[in-house]
Amino acid sequence: MKVLIVGGGPAGTLAAINLGNKCEVTLVEEHQAAGFPVQCAGLISQPCYDKLKKYSKRSLVNRIEGAFFFSPDGNYIEMVGKRKGVVIERKILDFELIKEASRTAEIFLKSTYVESCVESGSKKARIVTSSGERLEEYDLLIGADGVNSRVAREFGFSRPEIFSAVQVELAFECLDENMVELYFGRYYSDGFFAYAIPIDSSTARLGVVSKSDPKSYLERLVEKHPSVSKRAGKSVIEVNAGAIPVGLNEIFKENVCLIGDSAGMVKPYTGGGIYYHLLAAEILGRNFPDLGKYRSDYLKLLGKDYRTGMRILRLYSKLSDTDYNELVRVGKDMFESYTKELDMDHPSSLLSILPRLIKLVSLKPALIAKIAKELAL
């Protein structure tokens, strides 16, 4: 059976690695190398890294113990969850994954998938390379071509909601080089949050994910945030912009399937995609060529986390800056001990502790009602 994978990002290469020798795999990537331009902060959980390090030995940049959750007034809560994290360098990870995939798959760089056609009764893909155009026959087409997936559009797959992101790597005085900083509030994002992912004690990836205009929110974060503005340096090392799909969509139709951002395989409450791609690729490989089982096993594993993740995402738009200030003020001591039960890869762990927390803290009844309604407690 001939499988054609479009896209050499983590979703495409992990799919190729997991399909291994079960079929004849060809992967096409339009750029000269995968991982460019970088559109990632590189934060993944330790269990995700433990699986990836089989293929990627050099991508580790930093280790993460937990996170500081900032309210807009500059106060913060420290949360150290059950799972630790790591920061990786995507350029290196993507390079190493392509190398691993090339052990069993045929990889063509600088090769763009344009469209499919039927010729002499077989399905063929039109691929444009630097030396011209060719047709590649396939039995199964896998769209791992990212958030703006050409494959998904061509075959009429439903599309996820899109958030925008802008990120800069810059000199930054981190509160703790092993703690991520998350900045909440409508003044710093429309419907999501801003973040600082430390590379070391004096450098971080500072970014904003937002429904609209993340660049203006990022400028405001750097210039006006009571804590960030005092610690962000002026010298920017790298600027990245990208899009984040939220909400899982259709993932297969007849002999076409999607994996990764093209399918909305991203945690809706953080925008992190790599762990979900890794799990999806394992499930695809295990069930190949049964695409129905690929979908049902993926939903069995992550369906509950998607539902909770979407509710948390909605809550970001419902809480006002005053609500965030109040939450951090009253929750400071109590939240910190309860969050040891939280798992960054599984937001449903939040549902088990939140009702207990709400009972404990003296929040305004209207704020309790708002949180309970959005999280369907």
Ligand X SMILES: Cc1cc2nc3c(=O)[nH]c(=O)nc-3n(C[C@H](O)[C@H](O)[C@H](O)COP(=O)(O)OP(=O)(O)OC[C@H]3O[C@@H](n4cnc5c(N)ncnc54)[C@H](O)[C@@H]3O)c2cc1C
> Of 55, 58, 60, nearest to 97 (Cα)?
55
The C-alpha atoms of residue 377 and residue 352 are separated, in whole angstroms, by 10
Query: Do the Cβ atoms of 222 and 242 come closer than 8 Å?
Result: no
Please give the residues from 33 up to 52 whose contact with ligand X meets the rule CB under 6 A. 34, 39-44
Cα dihedral across residues 5, 32, 91, 189: positive or negative: negative
By the rule CB under 6 A, 274 interacts with ligand X: yes
Interface mask toward ligand X for 110-129; x: CB under 6 A: --xx----------------
Identity of the residue, 6 or 291, whose beta carbon is nearer to ligand X in the bound complex? 6
The C-alpha atoms of residue 142 and residue 149 are separated, in whole angstroms, by 11
| Peptide linkage before 198 cis (omega within 30 of 0) | no
Q: Which stretch binds ligand X (CB under 6 A): 5-13, 224-232, 293-301, 325-333?
A: 5-13
The distance of Cα 209 from the centroid of its chain, to the nearest Å, equals: 11
Please, what is the minimum distance in Å from the beta carbon of residue 338 to ligand X? 25
The stretches of the chain forming alpha helices (DSSP H) are 10-19, 46-52, 90-101, 150-154, 214-224, 228-231, 274-287, 291-318, 321-338, 348-360, 365-374
Number of residues that bind ligand X (CB under 6 A): 38
By the rule CB under 6 A, 313 interacts with ligand X: no
Please, what is the minimum distance in Å from the beta carbon of residue 377 to ligand X? 28
Helix (H, G, I), strand (E, B) or coil at 345: coil
By the rule CB under 6 A, 30 interacts with ligand X: yes
| Peptide linkage before 10 cis (omega within 30 of 0) | no
Residue from 3, 4, 5, 7 binding ligand X (CB under 6 A): 7
Q: Which stretch binds ligand X (CB under 6 A): 60-68, 247-255, 268-276, 367-375?
A: 268-276
Please give the residues from 130 up to 169 whose contact with ligand X meets the rule CB under 6 A. 144-146, 150, 165, 167
Question: Cβ–Cβ contacts within 10 Å for residue 368, how many?
Answer: 15
Identity of the residue, 12 or 198, whose beta carbon is nearer to ligand X in the bound complex? 12
Residue from 81, 198, 260, 347 binding ligand X (CB under 6 A): 260
Residue from 198, 207, 331, 347 binding ligand X (CB under 6 A): 207
* Site of interaction with ligand X (CB under 6 A): 6-12, 28-31, 34, 39-44, 112-113, 144-146, 150, 165, 167, 207, 240, 242, 244, 260-261, 266, 271-274, 277
